[in-house]
Amino acid sequence: MSQTRPGGEIQSTWDPQHWKHCPGEDNPADLITRGLSLKVLAENSLWWNGPKWLASNCWATERQGNEESSEFVKRERKPKQVTMHACAGLAKEPIIDACRYDKWLTLIRVTAYVLRWVQVFKSGESSESRELSAEELKNAKLNWYRQVQREVYRIEYAQLEAGQPLPKTSTTLNLDPYFDKEDRLLRVGGRQQYSNLPEVTKHPIILPHGHPVVEKIIQCVHNELLHAGPENTLSVLQQNIWLTHGCHEVKRVLMKCLVCQRQHVGPSSQKMAPLPSERVLFSPPFTHVGIDFVNPLYVQGNPSPHKSYVCIFTCASSRMVHLELTSDPSTNAFFQAFNRMISRRGLCSTIWLDNAKTFKCADRQIRKLYKSQSSDSDQPWNDIDQGELQAKLASKGIKWKFIVERSP
Q: Which helix (H) or strand (E) holds 243?
A: strand 241-243
Stretches 103-111, 226-234, 339-347, 384-392: which one binds Zn ion (CB under 5 A)? 226-234
**347 is an interface residue for Zn ion by CB under 5 A:** no
Stretches 51-59, 220-228, 372-380, 388-396: which one binds Zn ion (CB under 5 A)? 220-228
Nearest-CA neighbor of 104 among 40, 70, 148? 148
- Nearer residue to Zn ion within complex by CB, 11 or 261: 261
- Nearer residue to Zn ion within complex by CB, 188 or 254: 254
**236 is an interface residue for Zn ion by CB under 5 A:** no
Torsion of CA 280, 284, 287, 290, to 10 degrees: 60
**55 is an interface residue for Zn ion by CB under 5 A:** no
Whats the size of the chain, residue-wise?
408
- Nearer residue to Zn ion within complex by CB, 209 or 251: 251
Cα–Cα distance measured from residue 336 to residue 397, given in angstroms and rounded to the nearest whole number: 18
**306 is an interface residue for Zn ion by CB under 5 A:** no
| Least distance from Zn ion to the Cβ atom of residue 252, Å | 13
- Nearer residue to Zn ion within complex by CB, 58 or 259: 259
Stretches 31-39, 117-125, 163-171, 222-230: which one binds Zn ion (CB under 5 A)? 222-230
Cα–Cα distance measured from residue 205 to residue 143, given in angstroms and rounded to the nearest whole number: 12
Query: Contact, 231 vs 217, CB < 8 A?
Result: no
Stretches 76-84, 224-232, 302-310, 391-399: which one binds Zn ion (CB under 5 A)? 224-232
| Least distance from Zn ion to the Cβ atom of residue 260, Å | 3
* From 22, 54, 115, 260, residue interacting with Zn ion (rule: CB under 5 A): 260
**115 is an interface residue for Zn ion by CB under 5 A:** no
- Nearer residue to Zn ion within complex by CB, 132 or 257: 257
Cα–Cα distance measured from residue 214 to residue 249, given in angstroms and rounded to the nearest whole number: 10
Cβ neighbors of 95 (< 8 A, separation 6 or more) are 114
Residue 327 DSSP class: S
**257 is an interface residue for Zn ion by CB under 5 A:** yes
| Least distance from Zn ion to the Cβ atom of residue 269, Å | 24
**154 is an interface residue for Zn ion by CB under 5 A:** no
**225 is an interface residue for Zn ion by CB under 5 A:** no
* From 55, 259, 275, 280, residue interacting with Zn ion (rule: CB under 5 A): 259
Cβ neighbors of 401 (< 8 A, separation 6 or more) are 350, 351, 352, 353
Nearest-CA neighbor of 374 among 384, 382, 363, 365? 382
Query: What are the Cα distances from residue 126, in Å, to 118, 135, 136, 139, 370?
Result: 10, 16, 14, 18, 88
| Least distance from Zn ion to the Cβ atom of residue 259, Å | 4
**228 is an interface residue for Zn ion by CB under 5 A:** no
| Least distance from Zn ion to the Cβ atom of residue 262, Å | 9
Q: What residues are paired with 353 via a beta bridge?
A: 291, 402
| Least distance from Zn ion to the Cβ atom of residue 102, Å | 14
- Nearer residue to Zn ion within complex by CB, 164 or 261: 261
- How many residues belong to the site for Zn ion (CB under 5 A)? 4
Query: Contact, 312 vs 334, CB < 8 A?
Result: no
Q: Which helix (H) or strand (E) holds 148?
A: helix 134-152
Stretches 11-19, 193-201, 249-257, 374-382: which one binds Zn ion (CB under 5 A)? 249-257
Q: Which helix (H) or strand (E) holds 394?
A: helix 386-395
Question: Residue numbers of the site for Zn ion (CB under 5 A)?
Answer: 227, 257, 259-260
